[in-house]
Amino acid sequence: MANIHDNPTRDEWVRKIAGLKTLAEGHTFLKDFRAKHVSVFKTDFSLELDWLWIELKIEEKVAVLKQAEFNDTQLLNNCTCGAEAKKVAADAVAAMEACTDMYEAERIHINFRLACKPPVMPVNFFLDTDRQLGTKLMELRNTDYYALPLEELRKVRGVKVITLQ
């Protein structure tokens, strides 16, 4: 009996993922995949049905490579790119604290998640930083976010309305 997850697209990605041999390769591969296929800023919509499953498989591989290459101290304190997680987190929080525009705050938060979501950043740093960024974002948003009429809100957010006939 065939596995429900088997399809040619996923099979192709499984082969690509299996080819990752170092943490540096895995980090770059995951970062590029997220930028291209995952975010609201994505540039490729070809994996609409499979991107989440593929991202999971890449994350699994990166986590295995990270465990193999990092010692215990590095696992708890470093990002997969080698950067000190505490500094990366502090930089993101500082950028958000300096931000006064809710749309820029959204970009800071989204980009932080894309760049740092585990296994890239250790969970102990990621979760608290994500909480701090989200708190500031909600404070900026909750200052009359829905006061704009729908058409104005769409214009400000750069929404393109597509209608089906």
Query: Could you read off the pLDDT of 109-159 as tens digits, one per residue?
Result: 999 999 999 999 999 999 999 999 999 999 888 767 667 788 888 888 788
Q: Which CATH class is domain 1-69?
A: mainly alpha
Residue whose structure tokens are 């089906």: 164
Kindly report, as residue ranges, where domains of CATH 1.20.1280.30 are found in the chain: 79-165
Segment 4-17 mean pLDDT: 90
Q: What is the pLDDT of residue 39?
A: 85
Architecture in CATH for domain 79-165: Up-down Bundle (1.20)
**Residue 2: which pLDDT band, with cuts at 50, 70 and 90?**
low
- The alpha helices in the chain, defined as continuous H runs, are 8-18, 23-37, 51-69, 72-77, 85-98, 102-116, 123-141, 150-157
| Contact predicate 36/93, CB 8 Å | no
Segment 4-32 mean pLDDT: 94
